[in-house]
Amino acid sequence: MKITWFGHSAFRLDFAGKAVLIDPFLSGNPSFGSSRDVAVLGTDYVLLTHGHGDHVGDTVAIAEATGATVVANADLASWLGLQGVKKLEMMNTGGTIGLDGFSVSMVRADHSSGALADSASVYLGNANGLIVHAPGEPTVWHMGDTDIFSDMALIAEIHRPEIVIVPIGNRYTMGPETAALAVKRFLPGLTIIPCHYGSFPPLEPTADRFVGFVGDEASVHVLTSGEPKSFAKG
C-alpha cells in the first residue's frame, strides 16, 4: 500500500489497483504539496470522516471529474447528494460496508460536524473515524478529528489496525501530548502517521513535539506532503 499525505488530514491510499482519497481538502489547503490533477488522478472512492469544510474539501468536484463513489455518514451523504454527487454510499457509526475488494468501517470520533448554508449551520451527522480493511494490505485507521477517549482501545481490539492516522494539531483536536498519550496507552507498537497540523497558524506547526512525547513506544512516520510512502502488511 502506498500512502500519500496532502497536508492537513487529506490522504490518498493506493492498493490493489484502487485509489482512495480520505478527506480531500486540497483547494485552499496551505500545506497541500502536490498537483491537484495528480492527487485526484484515477480516484475510485472518496471517504469522509465528517462534514467540516477542511475535510469535505474538493469532494464534489472530484466526484464529478472522476466518477468516484463517495462514502460518508447518512446525513453528510444526503447533503452531498443535494450538491450534485451522484454515486454515494451511506453508512454510520459502528457499520461496515463492502466495496470493490475492500471494506470500510465507521467508528467513533469525539468532534462536531456541520457546514454553513444561507448564514445558518447545517448539521451533517456525527464525526467519525474510518478503518480501511483490504486483503493482504495493512489495515488503516484514520481517526478523523477527535479528542482522546478510552474506547480507542476497544476499536483497536475489534479492528486490529496496523497503521493509525492521528490528529495532533490542538485547538480543534487532541494536541501533541494528549495524542501521544492515546498512542502509548491504546496503540502501542503500531505504525503512527500524524496529521491535522502545520496547515494553519492556530494548529501545532510541526510534528516534533508529538514524536518526542511518543518516544520509542510506537513507530511514528512523519510524512512529507505530496510524497507517497509504501507500507507492507506486518
Q: Which domains does the chain possess?
A: 2-222 (3.60.15.10)
Whether pTM exceeds 0.95? yes
Query: How confident is the model over 114-156, as pLDDT tens digits?
Result: 998 878 889 999 999 999 999 999 999 999 999 999 999 999 9
Query: How confident is the model over 163-214, as pLDDT tens digits?
Result: 999 999 999 999 999 999 999 999 999 999 999 999 999 999 999 999 999 9
* pLDDT reading at 228 higher than 90: yes
3-state helix/strand/coil string of the chain: CEEEECCCCCEEEEECCEEEEECCCCCCCCCCCCCHHHHHCCCCEEECCCCCHHHHCCHHHHHHHHCCEEEEEHHHHHHHHHCCCCCEEEECCCCEEECCCCEEEEEECCCCCEEEECCEEEECCCCEEEEEECCCCCCEEECCCCCCCCCHHHHHHHHCCCEEEEECCCCCCCCHHHHHHHHHHHCCCCEEEEECCCCCCCCCCCCHHHHHHHCCCCEECCCCCCCCEECCCC
